[in-house]
Structure 1
């Protein structure tokens, strides 16, 4: 199976040169990329969270580790699972493919954990089908509701359009701890129950494999996972608009365009030079790496605002 890490192998050839040059230039000109007060930064940083954000962060960790003594670990428990660890105080940052929920923010406040939200990139949640599916090439939001909302029946493609095959639909969805599930639930299902027949997984590669293996399958996940496997799965246009960098950035790919975040513990930045150093590297290079792994760079003013916020935490 081809997953995003295979895609990264080719993308990193170019991005490594770009990011490496950026890191070297930053270290030489500012003296802060891998040093603090003239001394090399050491220590550890721990993060967790969204599988959608993982391609960006894990690639940045690989690049960063090549030029730093800081040890960075990034788990992939899904957005909800990542916030649980963040609330428990076991991580320094938490990756998310949706904004933090009110109840999560309340739990952090109760735990005495102040945090800052950083925008990393934009994503287009991508609906995919098997390459043999030559009927469901363009779906409306209403079609998606009919397909994915539980109504007590065994759903067939012909239920959505009588001209489509009289065969059962096979469903693959991110798990309930995933921010991608939450986002889809909000904008497509509108908080209704998802079909009970869906196979759920926090690992997007499991979803990719499922769609690859069944002509009647349909699934959804982040845009980068589609790009990494586009030779074996097919993206569906939504309301006549296909997901690509231009439509995601412009917002034309609606309502499935969305921002990607990381949330950072303020005290970790203030008290641990390793956390500050790594987050500085992330903000400086998130845009370039987002493009390298298949997402969409945010406007530069967003990264400038992120950097200003980070500096304010020291």
Structure 2
């Protein structure tokens, strides 16, 4: 690899190239570690590039968490050249059902908690796991840059646009808005972003419309909205953060005035109801292998690295205290596994 996210590559170019593509194999990276090593949060991984650790690690799951996993894996492999890491963007649900809960991956990233059905599938296949909160996201609603009629929406207005049998034209939502069809671009139903948006905006009483362009690839959502004046879409804040000049992010008025998505509003709990936790789930049996246990520790430590999580990727990092609690819990699981 020549473009490491922690070595001179801008957040925009990193997210544009990795935020939604299918898989990134990090095997064979030969660059040395960046100056500063693992930054605010990394300490467990020893001498750069010279450890005795070796082996493979397979990570599946959320496209939203994908940039975090990719950046962490890249840094870890710079310090441990004998480790080959594959990161695949399969969607949270696709990762659980097709890979992790059937024993074919070591970690599954998720942009919402594991569901009861997924828990049962894991149980049916004797897969035990540990939940790790790695960051906080501000799920972002975007419109075309030429959209001059709306800067903020209420959850109810979003519900009208995204529910089955809801609004067809913009004017159906608000009479003074254009009498033009709404073009929708959003996450596929295998995505944790889809699940979270449905729960937060539509609730239990409504179904998500099927009249939209559904994809696991955030860049396709971006391109769809960018090319259509009447387009609207949603994805994780980090992808918007890397493409601010391409589209417009809407604020959300949840009853206390319009609040724009940002790291600050998500951290303060002001961006409601679309702030959400992001997770990774290591498989407990995989943690019996030392190289996987070390990577899991490193992943948790990096969750408090603000230069990586906030500045480079665009999510809210863990506090040092919260990270240490996650690390203590992980170490207990690792002790049991080993």
| Structure-2-length-normalised TM-score | 0.83
Kept in 1, the 8 Å contact 2:112–2:278? The answer is: yes
Q: CA deviation at 1:230?
A: 0.6
Q: Distance in 1 between matches of 2:318 and 2:189?
A: 27
Instruction: Select which of 273, 276, 287 maps to 1:255.
Output: 273
Match of 1:147 in 2: 161
Match of 2:330 in 1: 310
Kept in 2, the 8 Å contact 1:34–1:40? The answer is: no
Match of 1:129 in 2: 143
Q: Deviations over 1:157-197 (max 9, x none)?
A: 11111111111110001000000000011111114222232
Kept in 2, the 8 Å contact 1:4–1:229? The answer is: no
Match of 1:95 in 2: 109
List runs of 5+ in structure 1 lacking aligned partners: 10-14
Instruction: Select which of 287, 290, 312 maps to 2:309.
Output: 290
Q: Relative to structure 1, is the Cα distance of residues 26 and 94 closer, same or farther in structure 2, using a 3 angstrom cutoff?
A: closer
Match of 2:91 in 1: 78
Match of 2:13 in 1: 6
Q: Using CA pairs under 8 Å that are at least 6 residues apart, name the structure with larger relative contact order, 1 or 2.
A: 1
Q: CA deviation at 1:67?
A: 1.8
Which residues in structure 2 correspond to 1:118-267 (within 5 Å)? 118-151=132-165, 155-191=168-204, 192-239=206-253, 240-267=258-285
Which residues in structure 2 correspond to 1:96-115 (within 5 Å)? 96-115=110-129
Q: Relative to structure 1, is the Cα distance of residues 5 and 243 closer, same or farther in structure 2, using a 3 angstrom cutoff?
A: closer
Q: Which has the higher helix share?
A: 1
Q: Distance in 1 between matches of 2:248 and 2:11?
A: 16
Kept in 1, the 8 Å contact 2:38–2:302? The answer is: no
Q: Relative to structure 1, is the Cα distance of residues 23 and 302 closer, same or farther in structure 2, using a 3 angstrom cutoff?
A: closer
Q: Would you say 1:276 and 2:293 are equivalent positions? A: yes
Q: Relative to structure 1, is the Cα distance of residues 156 and 19 closer, same or farther in structure 2, using a 3 angstrom cutoff?
A: farther
Match of 1:301 in 2: 321
List runs of 5+ in structure 2 lacking aligned partners: 1-9, 17-32
Kept in 2, the 8 Å contact 1:34–1:41? The answer is: no
Q: CA deviation at 1:131?
A: 0.5
Q: What is the count of residue pairs matched by the alignment? A: 299
Q: Distance in 1 between matches of 2:251 and 2:35?
A: 34
SS of equivalent residue, structure 2 residue 291 = helix
Q: Relative to structure 1, is the Cα distance of residues 124 and 19 closer, same or farther in structure 2, using a 3 angstrom cutoff?
A: farther
After superposing on structure 2, the runs of 4+ consecutive aligned residues of structure 1 that deviate more than 3 Å are 15-28
Q: Distance in 1 between matches of 2:304 and 2:41?
A: 14
Kept in 1, the 8 Å contact 2:160–2:166? The answer is: no
Q: Deviations over 1:180-223 (max 9, x none)?
A: 00001111111422223200001111101111111100000000
| Structure-1-length-normalised TM-score | 0.89
Q: Distance in 2 between matches of 1:97 and 1:263?
A: 11
Q: Distance in 2 between matches of 1:132 and 1:92?
A: 44
